[in-house]
Amino acid sequence: MNPLAYPVTVSHYLAVGAVLFVAGIICMAVKRNALGVLMGVELVLNGANVNFVAFGSRVLRDESLGLDGHVFALFVIVLAAAEAAVALAIALNYYNNHSTIDVDQADELKG
């Protein structure tokens, strides 16, 4: 069977979403730079986004518009933008206090 002629189904998109999600989690876990962690966050959110758009697809259900999934994806995009704005303030504040944005340096609060 020619793999290039194989029809793309919803599961393929789910696989992409899962890869994005896991890649984002790994990125958040191993990155030490705060902005790198933020990139991981974006990957995770977009993994969920790919899922929403895939589940809203007409391939899966032709009787409804599937608009819910698309609207959800738009909300997630806007959320990601809002969080990027807050993240800048938090990263700057962190830099002003610690002179670095290495999040592994954040280990003073414990007990």
Binding residue (CB under 8 A) for other proteins from 44, 58, 59, 100? 44
83 binds other proteins (CB under 8 A): yes
Among 12, 91, 100, 104, binds other proteins (CB under 8 A): 91
d(CA 106, CA 20): 27
Instruction: Spell 69-99 as b/e; 16+ CB within 10 A means b.
Output: beebbeeeeeebeeeeeebeeebeebeeeee
List of residues contacting other proteins (CB under 8 A): 10, 17, 21, 24-25, 28, 34, 37-38, 41, 44-45, 47-48, 51-52, 54-56, 60-61, 63-64, 66-72, 74-79, 81-94, 96-98, 103, 106, 108-111
